[in-house]
């Protein structure tokens, strides 16, 4: 599992670094970013928060815009941000160049339909390959939580709900809560997974919470002025599904906030403190 450092910068007493590596899960070269707090060392491995970004994003959006480093440094949490899809020559893309499918829009699932099934295995990459890579090469522990925004909020919820033994806590900003009922999700799932909608439920947080209680605590922030709120995000369905089996989910509706990183940067410290409680328990 060879990795190549392509950039680094000191920030908040720690380090932000970017790396590339060859991914077996995705059959391409991938890039990720990591923030290491100042207390991270071989003698003191720190817990990790995995951040999953939304449509059109890369590892850079969160690291450059969220303003998370100071709080993460104070709390002693590493942050890892992968890309949002496989990349490179030979990786298929939406033939019409749409932003909501193909490159930049991997939806954190394992595609089963050609031509997507060769590369689009973001679920396995985030849940298995990337953590193994991080734990083998950096001063971090196996203790981890997961968070994300929009498509990445969907990914954080579904990956942790399907693997609750692997994550201490989940949080999300403006997640696509019920993608099997949302235009973004329906488009992506029909291409990546095929026409049998019963196979989509594994990647739908509402459907997962309807079926059983989550043992992992969840925090969700949603802006009330988000232009995607009604048609694509549907947080009220997530809250209702969580109540069915008594899952620990706090949904905070934030007046005036939209879907942007202005919103994320306003509340990211709350999310880091939420995760710190569970990562250090």
Question: What residues contact residue 211 under an 8 Å CB cut-off, 6+ apart?
Answer: none
**Of residues 229, 152, 231, the one with CA closest to residue 186:** 231
Cα R_g (the chain), whole angstroms? 17
Question: b vs e for 32-56, b when ≥16 Cβ sit within 10 Å of the residue's Cβ?
Answer: bbbbbbeebeeeebbbbbbbbbbbe
Query: Of the listed 149, 259, 271, 275, which one is catalytic?
Result: 259
| H or E segment to which residue 144 belongs | strand 140-149
Phi, psi of 178 (to 5 degrees): -130, 65
CA distance 179 to 109: 12
CA distance 39 to 57: 29
DSSP states of 35-86: EE-TT--SSS-EEEEEEE--TT--THHHHHHS--HHHHHHHT-EEEEE-SS-
Query: Of the listed 59, 169, 226, 239, which one is catalytic?
Result: 226
Query: Of the listed 85, 150, 169, 174, which one is catalytic?
Result: 150
Query: Active site includes 154?
Result: no
Using an 8 Å Cβ cutoff, are 46 and 40 in contact? yes
- Residue 268 DSSP SS3: helix
Query: Active site includes 226?
Result: yes
Query: Active site includes 21?
Result: no
Catalytic residues: 150, 226, 259
């Amino acid at each position: 599992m060879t990795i190549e450092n392509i950039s680094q910068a000191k920030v908040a007493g720690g380090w932000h670094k970017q790396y590339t590596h060859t991914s077996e899960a995705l059959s391409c070269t991938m890039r990720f970013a990591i923030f290491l707090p100042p207390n991270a060392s071989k003698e003191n491995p720190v817990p990790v928060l995995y951040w999953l970004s939304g449509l059109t994003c890369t590892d850079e959006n969160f690291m450059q815009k969220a303003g998370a480093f100071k709080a993460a440094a104070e709390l002693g949490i590493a942050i890892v941000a992968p890309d949002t899809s496989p990349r490179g020559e030979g990786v298929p893309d939406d033939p019409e160049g749409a932003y909501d499918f193909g490159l930049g829009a991997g939806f954190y699932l394992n595609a089963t339909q050609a031509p997507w099934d060769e590369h689009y295995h973001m679920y396995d990459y985030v849940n298995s390959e990337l953590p193994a890579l991080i734990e083998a090469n950096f001063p971090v522990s196996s203790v981890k939580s997961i968070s994300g925004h929009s498509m990445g909020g969907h990914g954080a919820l579904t990956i942790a709900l399907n693997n609750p033994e692997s994550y201490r806590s989940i949080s999300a900003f403006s997640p696509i809560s019920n993608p099997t009922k949302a235009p973004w999700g329906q488009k992506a799932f029909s291409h990546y997974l095929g026409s049998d909608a019963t196979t989509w439920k594994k990647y739908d947080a509402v459907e997962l919470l309807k079926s059983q209680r989550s043992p992992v605590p969840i925090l969700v922030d949603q802006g009330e002025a988000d232009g995607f709120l009604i048609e694509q995000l549907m947080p009220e369905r997530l809250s209702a599904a969580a109540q069915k089996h008594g899952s620990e989910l706090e949904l905070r509706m934030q007046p005036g906030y939209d879907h942007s990183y202005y919103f994320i940067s306003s509340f990211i410290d709350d999310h880091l403190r939420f995760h710190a409680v569970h990562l250090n328990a």
